[in-house]
Amino acid sequence: MESCVDVPVDWHDVPELESKSPEVEVPEFRSESPDVEAPDVDSDGENRRERNDYEIEKEVMTWVDEPRVKHNFYPETEDDSEEEGEEIQKTVYQRNDIKRGNGELYVGQVFISGIAFKEAVLDYALKMGRNIKQNRYDKTKIGFVCEGKGCSWRIYCSTSGKSPNKWQVKILKKDHSCVPTGTCEMLKVPAIARLFVDKIREEPEYFMPMKIEELIMEKWKIRVTRPQCQHARNKALRWIEREYDEQFGRLRDYCSEIRESNVNSSVELDCVRNDDEVDVFNRFYVCFDIIRRNWKETCRPLIGVDGCFLKSRMKGQLLVALGRDADNAIYPIAWAVVQVENKVNWLWFVRKIKVDLGLNEGDGYFMVSDRQKGLIAAVKTELPLIEHRMCVRHIYGNLKKKYGKKPEMKPKIWNLAWSYNEGDYRANLLDIFSYDRDVYDDVMKSKPEKWCRAFYKLGPFCEDVENNSTESFNNSIGKAREKPFVPMLETIARLAMVRIAKRDVIASSHEGLCTPYVIDMLETLHEKASACTVNPSTNMTYSSTLHGCAHRVSLVNRTCSCRRWEITGIPCEHAYGVMTTRGLEAQDFVVHWFRTTTWRQTYAEGIVPLRGAKFWPVGPEPPIIEPPPPDQPGRKKETKADKKRKKGVNESPVKKKEKFLKRIMHCGICGEANHNARFHKKNPKKVSF
């Protein structure tokens, strides 16, 4: 048999090899261990490996009393004869520390298959740097010899007794009479692919052919060619792609794993039936229970919503909903994957977060997003009472497209958005009107009351006028969006889990009354607060004057006429100046959303880690398949087939409709048929201009 099949999903898929050949490729598999030098022979057939090791472990543990780590050595088995059985028992007891991948071979060593034996010989060849070559292979016998000049090293293994799954080393000549030559015939493309498949899965952009070639020389002092490494990398990528395709077909099992590990989590997988009666993926949504409970109890009623493109083979959109913690940092709430960002999918996503977060009609909550038409319509339908703020960055981006040559426009637009009160709003709006009337008209058409602080409702305590938090989150998962579908979902969930764990440590170690966000903001206002002139009045009200403008401050109501205190929940410079004059602690007047106790409560519990695909619950549902590439909204890109060649001025309008249609010649000077410029009637010679 000159070649072998690709990596089998299970060891049951390994074909029976009947013919003899000196060189046979080993069926490929993946290694679970990240260590390159110790490939796991059974890692692609987890079910078979666990079953065999469990059975063998029960046998071995009856022979030895010392406990051992499962899967740490090539298991030994009993032989049919009593004498050989005693010999093997003694060997097992003495050599129970042998580990997979260490390259040790000895007489009497037992393997669960011929493939396992070949992997052990490959480990030995890599460890010793010898050029080991296979010289015998059939259904019950495998042999290897050393190709070094005059070397007598050889090993022979065959099935032990009547059991075809028990292979035992019968002959081994250990001594080599040759020196390493830096070559190894066993290190072929499939073997290289198995050694680096885990590394390629983790960092496909880093482990390129040149890097693989360098690592093999550095680690084992063996030379391989660049094309070998290229083919090995491509083979490993095919294995990984097939693995991911199998995981995609088990998306329902992935949903069951989320529900089982994180009880009461909201997960929905929507599929449609195609003409072949096969389930095709449509959209996916997940909101972990602990995340939504912590958001309801400890986070401000703020939701940032945005969508971004997937960068993997399956195209689509990733929709995210984010909150803010007590330190004003990103707190992911829910995410979903849809094929197209349109009104139908946005309506479905908004309806899901409405139910999971208990938003009702949206009263008392506010949302920040861009001006995507489908999203605006969905929010208006499902959350009619929510305050929907528009992102100023997108407003300015649209104006910049039209007025790109007006650099002074940018600060004027942002100053308008940052206006805390109507007085500042009117002044900044007048500044835009004086600057350019056309810009002013377009600003008014964009409805500034949707993106200016002066019109914000009080209560949410968030002064943001842009949706930078979701943009930042989308950027943080940029690498995840390049992965296949299931690894992308696993990576996003893992990043959210790690984010919670890290911030739990930071919040627990923080000793201040308020979060670092509040402390930094008050430090920036301290200089202005020190310059305020404070005059007291009755009922804990004060007049605080800064830069010639007086503001009314009430410590009882926690208000200031500038409205910054009410909008942010943190004392403004005018109120801070009053507190400094009275000797009061400004942190005592900060709203409870920014307290350290609230911050710690947000990250006290986190997502329960999800298990790998082999541990997912197996359901009776049929597998699902990837959808065809959807038609994205917007102007379609013109393909080469759509592009038509522009004809010349005097080119014949007649196209060749038949294969042997005679072409009609036209003159480039007069445009008439049956002659060209060279034989022009008026100038039979060369025509010059």
C-alpha distance from residue 222 to each of 131, 332, 392 (Å) = 9, 48, 59
Q: How far apart are CA 544 and CA 565, in angstroms?
A: 14
Q: What is the pLDDT at residue 404?
A: 81
Total residues found in the chain within this entry: 689
pLDDT top residue among 610 and 657: 610
Q: Which of 57-71, 166-180, 386-400 has the lowest mean pLDDT?
A: 57-71
State mean pLDDT over 425-451: 93
Q: Which pLDDT score, from 0 to 100, does residue 47 have?
A: 38
**In degrees, to the nearest 5, what angle opens at C-alpha 585 toward C-alphas 579 and 587?**
110
Average pLDDT over residues 476-487: 91
Environment class of 39 (CB within 10 Å of its CB; exposed 0-12, middle 13-18, buried 19+): buried
Cα 8 from Cα 29, distance rounded (Å): 7
Task: Please say if the pLDDT value at position 69 is more than 60.
Answer: no
pLDDT at residue 185 in the model = 87
What is the pLDDT averaged over residues 663-669? 77
pTM for this predicted structure: 0.72
- Any alpha helices (H) in 113-206, and if so which ranges? 114-128, 189-202
Between 380 and 682, the higher pLDDT residue: 380
- At 149, is the pLDDT very low, low, confident or very high (cuts 50, 70, 90)? confident
Report how far residue 686's alpha carbon sits from residue 688's, in angstroms, rounded to the nearest whole number: 6
Asked if residues 215 and 229 have their Cβ atoms less than 8 Å apart, the reply is no
Which string of b and e fits 521-531 if b means at least 16 CB within 10 Å?
A: bbeebeeebee
- The pair phi, psi for residue 399, each rounded to 5°, is -70, -35
d(CA 314, CA 484): 7
Per-residue pLDDT of 374-405, as tens digits, reads 999 999 999 999 999 999 998 999 899 888 87
- C-alpha span between 570 and 580 (Å, rounded): 15
* Burial 60-74, CB ≥16 within 10 A → b, else e: beebeeeeeeebebb
Token code pair at residue 633: 């909204």
Q: What is the pLDDT of residue 631?
A: 73
Which has the higher per-residue pLDDT, 652 or 350?
Answer: 350
Spatial distance between the Cα atoms of 92 and 108, rounded to a whole number of angstroms: 9
The residues spanned by each domain of the chain are: 11-202, 514-594, 645-689
Residue from 393, 391, 380, 400 nearest 442 by CA: 400
Kindly report the average pLDDT of the chain as a whole number.
82
Question: What distance in Å separates the CA atoms of residue 247 and residue 626, rounded to the nearest whole number?
Answer: 11
493 and 607 Cβ atoms separated by less than 8 Å: yes
In whole angstroms, give the CA distance from residue 208 to residue 549. Answer: 65
Residue 602 has pLDDT above 70, yes or no: yes
Burial class (CB in 10 A: 0-12, 13-18, 19+), 599: buried
pLDDT for 573 equals: 95
pLDDT at 174: 86
Question: Given a cut of 60, is residue 18 above it in pLDDT?
Answer: no
Q: Are 150 and 176 in contact (CB under 8 A)?
A: no
pLDDT 10s digits, 542-563: 999 999 999 999 999 999 999 9
For the stretch 255-296, pLDDT in tens is 999 999 999 999 999 999 988 889 999 999 999 999 999 999
Closest CA to 603 of 460, 499, 494: 499
Q: pLDDT by residue (tens digit) across 633-642?
A: 656 666 655 5
pLDDT grade, residue 673 (50/70/90)?
confident
- CB-based contact 509:319 (threshold 8 Å): no
**Hey, CA dihedral for 364, 365, 366, 372, is it positive or negative?**
negative
Under 8 Å CB-to-CB from 509, ≥6 apart: which residues? none
pLDDT for the residue numbered 407: 83
pLDDT of the residue at 599 = 96
Residue 328 has pLDDT above 90, yes or no: yes
Query: Residues 154-165: what's their mean pLDDT?
Result: 84
Q: Which of 85-89, 160-164, 240-244, 561-565 has the highest mean pLDDT?
A: 561-565
pLDDT, position 648: 65
The pair of three-digit structure tokens given for residue 191, joined into one six-digit string: 């073997």
Q: Where does the pLDDT of residue 656 fall: very low under 50, low under 70, confident under 90, or very high at 90 and above?
A: very low
Percent of the chain with pLDDT over 90: 58
Query: Is it the case that residue 658 has pLDDT exceeding 60?
Result: no
pLDDT at residue 313 in the model: 86
pLDDT at 432: 94
Strand ranges across the sheet with 366-369: 266-273, 279-287, 330-338, 317-324, 302-309, 366-369, 387-390
Q: Tell me, what's the pLDDT at 679?
A: 75
Place of tokens 């912590």: 294
**From CA 192, how far away is CA 209, in angstroms rounded?**
11
pLDDT at residue 655 greater than cutoff 80: no
Q: Kindly state the DSSP code that residue 594 receives in the 8-state scheme.
A: G
Residue 649's pLDDT is 62
Per-residue DSSP letter, 454? G
Cα 103 from Cα 177, distance rounded (Å): 19
Task: Please tell me whether residue 344 adopts helix, strand or coil conformation.
Answer: helix
- CB 44 within 8 Å of CB 9: yes
- pLDDT tier for residue 678 given thresholds of 50, 70 and 90: confident
Q: How far apart are CA 466 and CA 390, in angstroms?
A: 7
pLDDT of residue 87: 38
Measured CA to CA in angstroms, residue 406 lies from 157, 302, 401, 431 at distances of 81, 34, 10, 14
Asked if the model's pLDDT at residue 88 lies above 70, the reply is no
Give start and end residues of each alpha helix (H) in 250-282. Answer: 251-261
Radius of gyration, CA atoms only, the chain: 36
Structural tokens at position 76 = 């030994």
Which of 9-18, 135-144, 239-248, 662-671 shows the lowest mean pLDDT across its residues? 9-18
Of the candidates 482, 485, 479, the residue with the CA atom closest to the CA atom of residue 244: 485
In this model, does residue 170 exceed pLDDT 90?
Answer: yes
pLDDT in tens, 189-227: 999 999 999 889 888 888 899 999 999 999 889 999 999
